[in-house]
């Protein structure tokens, strides 16, 4: 886990969420102009965005509910000073002060960013960052910030991603102000921005002497393709070096960090740009080199680097089919390990991850939720890598998720969603995504629920085996969502190791193995070993009556069925028609009476039926006459055996012939007289959260688990089998839903279930 004072939070920027108001007194910024030029992919603008200026109290209440303790946000320079210099907009002062007060009332620590790409349009028309006076303009802005907010905010960040401001705004023209300037001008603009940073730090130190002040650049992380020393050194050389084309020069770490931390530009950069550099004075470098308290860093992805034969940098190929986000950015969790590690080694400053997250194609599900399991998996992997860097000595002070909510994603408009909170833009309704609930747990536990802290053992999710039966139906497809065709789908063997019907591991290092193969080859996952996997879990959909059966016990099966196991089973009624019943037991008082009734075909007199309801649990011991009737769906837990004796099958034809009956063996094994049926049935109607033990016998323990918010199960000494029979939610960072079947291996640790769902959990006795 992370250090005790670790800062967990969420982040946004002003232009992306605030919106506008005709009476707000705000001036225009470069993005207000840029969006009118056909530069946004969906033709949108940020005039409303998330309407944060009117809804921030609602949003801070949502943050509090999510357990957010810190919020990194930016304020708008042109909202505060409409022309960039000159008169201050008191409405903006009042607005931001009220936001800060509201944050504190909700237990949220504010981290205020002064500049997140929104340059005042009036100043851009004077040349923007290329104007030699631009650093002085920013100094005055920082003074206004200190004068008006220092009493309510103790943490400030001067600039967000200066590489993007220069590279995307002045070099490539992809972002506002949309310019493509000569190299010399862009280098000068970057220098002025860095001077503005120094002046802002000085102003804030003067006006807020106790404040913590940082600076938040970015860059893709060069990470080693392997853990070899040569690859690590090559990656570090690339990360801090100058290998970019001059047409994309601003995507660089050291040009934007070395002057801030060391008071000098990197020598290889000076050499590269020598024909386009202006005079850089000692006074300028001293100004830029103001002491800061931390380095903020926005990290989303990276690229693999190998060392050539002579140590030269080689760009390694990505794996075929590598994962990408909705931005088409590669998913590279190790970037959040190597980036902070390299930065801390070079600069020796606390590292604050000021942005990390992913855009996803979030869709509102029929139940109204947003089940963004991909984002949860992404974050779990990335933050686990960040902890690894911290565990190995990098001083990581905090992590801000980008972003709190979906918002206006610059040139991509509203086509990309980064938030933990879904925003329906027409109605402005907010909905916390599954990832938001998951991240709440991360913050609450200081990362204890991350996969890195859970013994590196993952759930074993299984693809079921299906059978087609004369009595089968369609509910396994229509209700449970299984991808299986036919109108006679009788059984879903969710957790099965039967030969010829084994469930198959669907993901992870054991993907493709049948459960029988996994049990034989990886006994360390189970902690016990028998000659076969001992249990089987299945869902049975009976459109019509199943045959009436009885199972032998182990002793009889061993003697008469070539050493096979007998069979004990139990049923949990998942669904049933009104007035449904099951066959459980018989009415014969003696074995002779039993045999006579069977020989004479007096089935109606012999068979005992019992009325059932959804949620009933029935234990079926060996020797018990039993059958599932039409209109009933059950989850069955049983010994891993397929030994069944058929007593009666209603004289039905299967492929033109009656099915085989086992009358003599039934006469041998049926218990006489039958056990009182009331002793075999448990009525389970409790909907409160908790665990109810339904049965414990010599072969298995079976429990029903209700999850209404969050519930923990300690999986230490025994593996457990889990089937989701209602609802959906999360197991740690893993989304789970109705119809999922999985095994939690021995030593898994704390299994944290969250959401609203019902489970059947079983284990070896």
What is the Cα Rg of the chain in Å? 33
Cα separation, 504 vs 518, whole angstroms:
9
Inter-residue long-range contacts of 576-579, CB under 8 Å, 24+ positions, other chains counted: 576/612, 576/613, 576/614, 576/631, 576/632, 576/633, 577/630, 577/631, 577/632, 579/611
Looking up tokens 């996994």 gives 518
**Starting at the edge strand that comes first in sequence, how are the strands of the sheet with 313-315 ordered?**
221-224, 302-307, 313-315
Of the candidates 118, 141, 106, 129, which has an alpha carbon nearest to the alpha carbon of residue 18? 118
- Which one from 18, 124, 355, 458 is the annotated catalytic residue? 355
User: What does the block give as tokens for 693?
Assistant: 């033990």
CB 484 within 8 A of CB 476: yes
The alpha carbon of residue 452 and the mean position of all alpha carbons in its chain are separated, in whole angstroms, by 14
Cα separation, 371 vs 757, whole angstroms:
14
User: What does the block give as tokens for 325?
Assistant: 């986000």
CB 705 within 8 A of CB 759: yes
Torsion angle of alpha carbons 166, 172, 175, 181, nearest 10°?
60
- Which one from 118, 124, 161, 458 is the annotated catalytic residue? 161
Bridge partners, 324 (sequence order): 330
Nearest 5°: CA angle at 117, between 116 and 121?
A: 130
Bridge partners, 221 (sequence order): 302
Cα separation, 718 vs 765, whole angstroms:
9
Cα separation, 599 vs 139, whole angstroms:
102
DSSP at 218: B
Nearest 5°: CA angle at 435, between 433 and 437?
A: 80
User: What does the block give as tokens for 146?
Assistant: 């200190």
CB 398 within 8 A of CB 352: yes
Cα separation, 749 vs 454, whole angstroms:
6
In terms of DSSP bridges, do strands 626-628 and 351-355 run parallel, antiparallel, or are they unpaired? unpaired
Bridge partners, 461 (sequence order): 742
Half-sphere exposure of residue 753, counting CA atoms within 13 Å on the CB side? 27
* 355 a catalytic residue: yes
CB 278 within 8 A of CB 185: no
The alpha carbon of residue 254 and the mean position of all alpha carbons in its chain are separated, in whole angstroms, by 33
CB 79 within 8 A of CB 27: yes
Of the candidates 447, 338, 398, which has an alpha carbon nearest to the alpha carbon of residue 214? 398
Q: Give the residue numbers annotated as catalytic, written as ranges.
A: 161, 355
């Amino acid at each position: 886990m992370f250090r005790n004072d670790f800062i967990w939070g969420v982040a946004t920027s002003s232009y992306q969420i605030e919106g506008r108001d005709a009476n707000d007194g705000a001036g225009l910024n470069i993005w207000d102009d840029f969006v009118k030029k056909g530069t946004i992919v969906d033709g949108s603008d940020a005039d409303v965005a998330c309407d944060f200026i009117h809804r921030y109290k609602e949003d801070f209440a949502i943050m509090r509910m999510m357990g957010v303790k810190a919020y990194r946000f930016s304020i708008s320079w042109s909202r505060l000073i409409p022309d960039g210099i000159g008169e201050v907009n008191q409405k903006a002062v009042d607005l931001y002060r009220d936001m800060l007060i509201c944050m504190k009332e909700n237990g949220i620590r504010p981290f205020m960013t002064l500049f997140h790409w929104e340059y005042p349009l009036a100043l851009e028309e004077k040349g923007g960052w290329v104007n030699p006076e631009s650093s002085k303009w920013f100094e005055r802005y920082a003074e206004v910030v200190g004068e008006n907010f220092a009493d309510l905010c103790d943490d400030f960040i001067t600039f967000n991603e200066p590489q993007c401001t220069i590279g995307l705004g002045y070099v490539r023209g992809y972002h506002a102000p949309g310019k493509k300037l000569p190299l010399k001008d862009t280098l000068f603009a970057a220098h002025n921005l860095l001077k503005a940073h120094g002046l802002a730090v000085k102003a804030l130190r003067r006006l807020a002497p106790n404040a913590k002040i940082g600076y938040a650049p970015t860059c893709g992380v060069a990470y080693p393709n392997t853990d070899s020393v040569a690859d690590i050194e090559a990656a570090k050389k690339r990360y801090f070096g100058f290998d970019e084309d001059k047409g994309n020069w601003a995507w660089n770490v050291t040009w934007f960090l070395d002057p801030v931390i060391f008071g000098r530009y990197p020598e290889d950069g000076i050499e590269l740009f020598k024909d386009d550099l202006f005079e850089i004075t000692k006074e300028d470098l001293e100004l830029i080199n103001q002491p800061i308290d931390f380095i903020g860093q926005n990290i989303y992805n990276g690229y693999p680097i190998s060392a050539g034969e002579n140590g030269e940098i080689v760009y390694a190929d990505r794996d075929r089919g590598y994962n990408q986000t909705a931005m088409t950015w590669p998913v590279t969790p190790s970037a959040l390990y190597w980036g902070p590690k390299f930065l801390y080694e070079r600069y020796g400053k606390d590292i604050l991850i000021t942005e990390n997250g992913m855009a996803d194609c979030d869709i509102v599900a029929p139940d109204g939720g947003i089940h963004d399991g991909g984002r949860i998996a992404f974050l779990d992997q990335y933050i686990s890598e960040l902890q690894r860097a911290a565990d190995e000595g990098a001083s990581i002070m905090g992590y801000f998720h980008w972003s709190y909510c979906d918002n206006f994603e610059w040139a991509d408009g509203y086509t990309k969603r980064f938030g933990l909170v879904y925003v329906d833009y027409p109605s402005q309704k907010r909905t916390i995504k599954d990832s938001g609930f998951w991240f709440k747990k991360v913050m609450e536990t200081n990362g204890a629920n991350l996969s890195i802290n859970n013994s590196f053992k993952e759930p074993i999710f299984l693809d079921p085996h299906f059978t087609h039966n004369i009595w089968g139906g369609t509910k396994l497809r229509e209700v449970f969502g299984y991808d299986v065709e036919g109108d006679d789908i009788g059984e879903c063997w969710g957790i099965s190791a039967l030969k010829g019907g084994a469930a198959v591991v669907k993901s992870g290092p054991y993907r493709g193995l049948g459960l029988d193969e996994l049990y034989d080859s990886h006994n360390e996952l189970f902690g016990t070993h028998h000659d076969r996997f001992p249990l089987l879990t299945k869902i049975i959909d009976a459109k019509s009556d199943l045959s009436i059966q009885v199972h032998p016990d182990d002793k009889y099966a061993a003697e008469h069925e070539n050493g096979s196991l007998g069979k004990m089973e139990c049923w949990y009624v998942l669904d049933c028609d009104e007035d449904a019943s099951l066959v459980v037991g018989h009415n014969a008082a003696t074995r002779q009476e039993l045999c006579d009734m069977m020989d004479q075909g007096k089935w109606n007199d012999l068979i005992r039926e019992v009325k059932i309801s959804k949620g009933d649990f029935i234990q079926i011991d060996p020797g018990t006459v039993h059958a599932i009737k039409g209109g009933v769906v059950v989850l069955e837990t049983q010994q891993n055996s397929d030994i069944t004796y058929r007593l009666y099958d209603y004289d039905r034809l299967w492929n033109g012939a009656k099915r085989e009956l086992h009358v003599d063996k039934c006469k041998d094994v049926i218990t006489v007289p039958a056990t009182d049926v009331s002793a075999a049935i448990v009525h389970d109607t409790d909907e409160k959260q908790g665990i109810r033990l339904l049965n414990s016998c010599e072969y298995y323990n079976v429990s029903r688990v209700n999850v209404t918010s969050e519930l923990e199960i300690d999986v230490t000494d025994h593996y457990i089998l889990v089937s989701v029979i209602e609802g959906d939610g999360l197991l740690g960072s893993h989304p789970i839903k109705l119809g999922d079947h999985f095994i939690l291996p021995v030593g898994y640790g704390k299994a944290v279930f969250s959401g609203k769902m019902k489970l059947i959990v079983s284990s070896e006795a």
